[in-house]
Amino acid sequence: MPTANPDYKDRLRQLAELMLAVSGESVSVMKRLAPEKALKLKRKDEWDLYLEFLKILFNLADRLAALHIPLKDQMDFMNALEDTVAQQLQRVLEPAFGNHADQMEIVLTIGTAVAESRQAYEPYKFLVTEESQAKNEMFRDFGNRIANALGAPGNPQLTSAATLCASAVVPAIGAVLQGQTPPPATSAQPATATVSEQPDKPGATGQE
């Protein structure tokens, strides 16, 4: 398991909690915007939707870490963040699944999500704190992925809402990485109600 600088322990915990909370709350937002689609979602579909939000948040955290974490620590920090998110996710799932929330499967699931995040979003080259065409294109790509996951490809309301959910958390991630308290609007605890509706046994690939 990667070992990050002990000075980053609190930041890693806060960042993992923030990412899980925002992902869970974002899924709830999308379901409220498309109630007729939400009724048709299976547990696997909702789990995949949740992971799509985690993927974009891992990418944003990586881009912001490049600005706020010393270069020599960045790789270890992101590897440790992956582990911390997996640990926090297991704690969130335990009330619903108890011992069936297998830690190794969760670790593999998060590892797969991170790999897919890099494949999908790293090709977009931009500075996350500045507006640019590449940044807009990446968020547009993400919004389309969310709309597709909801069975409503190209739906402008859903793509815009998904983009807003992801982009709005950038200041909070930056604040955590700098050792500051994130803004109140985005510093909620993990949304257990949404996550507890996930598949009975989350797998490494999200497949049944």
- Please give the chain's pLDDT, 208 residues, in tens: 455 688 899 999 999 999 999 999 999 999 999 999 999 999 899 999 999 999 999 999 999 999 999 999 999 999 999 999 999 998 887 765 555 556 788 889 999 999 999 999 999 999 999 999 999 999 999 999 999 999 999 999 999 999 999 999 999 999 999 998 776 644 333 333 343 344 344 443 333 3
E runs forming strands in the chain: none
The whole-number pLDDT of residue 95 equals 61
Specify burial of residue 71 (Cβ count, 10 A radius: 0-12, 13-18, 19+): exposed
From the CB of residue 176, how many other CB atoms can be counted at a distance below 10 Å?
Answer: 26
Cα of first residue to Cα of last residue in the chain, in angstroms, is: 28
Query: Cβ(163)–Cβ(140) under 8 Å?
Result: yes
The whole-number pLDDT of residue 118 equals 96
**H helix count then E strand count, the chain:** 9, 0
Query: Cβ(150)–Cβ(28) under 8 Å?
Result: no
Distance of CA 146 to the CA centre of its chain: 12
Q: What is the pTM of this model?
A: 0.85
The whole-number pLDDT of residue 4 equals 64
Query: Cβ(132)–Cβ(126) under 8 Å?
Result: yes
The whole-number pLDDT of residue 201 equals 43
The whole-number pLDDT of residue 90 equals 87
